[in-house]
Amino acid sequence: MKDQSRREFLRNFILGATTLAAQPILASCSVKPMAETQLPAETVAITEISPTESTTEFATEAQNQYPYLVVARGTDAEQLVRQGMLAMGGMERFMKAGADVIIKPNICIGYYSYEYAATTNPWVVAALVKMCLEAGAKRVRVMDYPFGGTGEQCYKNSGIADLVTAAGGEMEVMSELKFVEQKIPNAVRLKRASIYQDVLTTDLLINVPIAKSHSMAKLTLGLKNLMGTMLNRESIHPSFEQNLVDLATVVRPQLTIIDAIRTLMANGPTGGDLNDVKLQNTLIFSHDVVAADSYATRLFEKTPEYLPYVLKAAERGLGKADLTGLTIQEINVDA
Partner 1 sequence: MPDHKNLKKVSNGWVIARKLTQVLSLVLFILAVLFSRQNGLPSNLVDFTVRLSPLAMASHLLSSKTFLAGSALSLILLISSLFFGRAWCGWLCPLGTILDLFKFSKHKNRRQPSETLRKIKYGLLILVLLSALFGNLTLLFFDPLTIFVRSTTLTILPAMDRIIFAVEKLLIKIPFMSKPVFAFDSWLRPDILPSTAPSIQYAFLVGFFFASLILLNLIAERFWCRYLCPLGALLGIPSRLAFFQRRTKALCSECGICSNNCPTDTIDSHNKYQSDPSECTLCMNCLESCQKNSLSFTPKWQPSASRPYDLNRRHFLTSVGISIFSVAVLSFDWIKNKAKSFLLRPPGVDDESQFLSTCIRCGICLKVCPTQALQPDFSESGLEGAWTPILVPRNGFCDFGCNSCGENCPVQAIPSLTIDNKRQAKIGQAYIDQDRCLAWSDHINCIVCEEMCPIPQKAITLEYGKHTLTDGSQVEIMLPVVNRESCIGCGTCENKCPVQGDAAIRVYTI
Name the residue nearer to partner 1 (CB basis): 76 or 172: 172
Give me the torsion for CA of 16, 17, 20, 22, rounded to 10°: -110
Could you say which residues in the range 224-243 bind partner 1, by CB under 8 A?
Answer: 234-235, 237-240
Binding letters toward partner 1, positions 75-114, x by CB under 8 A: ----------------------------------xxxx--
Task: Pick the binder of partner 1 from 12, 37, 303, 327 (CB under 8 A).
Answer: 37
Q: How far is the CB of 108 from partner 1 (least distance, A)?
A: 9
DSSP state of 33: P
Instruction: Give the Cα separation of 76 and 222 in Å (integer).
Output: 22
> Residue 28, interface with partner 1 (CB under 8 A)?
yes
> Residue 41, interface with partner 1 (CB under 8 A)?
no
Residue 330 has φ and ψ, to the nearest 5°, of: -105, 130
Cα separation values, 189 from 105, 179, 193, 249, 252, Å? 26, 20, 11, 12, 18
- What residues have CB less than 8 Å from 325, skipping those under 6 apart? none
Name the residue nearer to partner 1 (CB basis): 130 or 218: 218
Task: Pick the binder of partner 1 from 31, 41, 97, 335 (CB under 8 A).
Answer: 31
Q: How far is the CB of 146 from partner 1 (least distance, A)?
A: 10
Task: Pick the binder of partner 1 from 10, 14, 216, 279 (CB under 8 A).
Answer: 216
Q: Check: CB of residue 299 under 8 Å from CB of residue 280.
A: yes
Q: How far is the CB of 246 from partner 1 (least distance, A)?
A: 17
Task: Pick the binder of partner 1 from 93, 138, 139, 156 (CB under 8 A).
Answer: 156
> Residue 305, interface with partner 1 (CB under 8 A)?
no
Q: Which stretch binds partner 1 (CB under 8 A): 55-63, 69-77, 87-95, 166-174?
A: 166-174
Q: Check: CB of residue 235 under 8 Å from CB of residue 305.
A: no
Q: How far is the CB of 70 from partner 1 (least distance, A)?
A: 31
Instruction: Give the Cα separation of 282 and 245 in Å (integer).
Output: 26
Q: Which residues pair with 194 in a beta bridge?
A: 181
CA nearest 199: which of 178, 168, 221?
Answer: 178
Q: How far is the CB of 34 from partner 1 (least distance, A)?
A: 6
> Residue 201, interface with partner 1 (CB under 8 A)?
no
Instruction: Give the Cα separation of 285 and 287 in Å (integer).
Output: 7
Q: Check: CB of residue 194 under 8 Å from CB of residue 182.
A: yes
Q: How far is the CB of 267 from partner 1 (least distance, A)?
A: 5
Distance from the first to the final alpha carbon of the chain: 91
Q: Check: CB of residue 266 under 8 Å from CB of residue 107.
A: no
Residue 103 has φ and ψ, to the nearest 5°, of: -105, 130
> Residue 254, interface with partner 1 (CB under 8 A)?
no
* Contacts with partner 1, residue ranges (CB under 8 A): 21, 23-32, 34, 37-38, 45, 109-112, 147-153, 156-157, 172-178, 214-216, 234-235, 237-240, 267, 269-273, 276
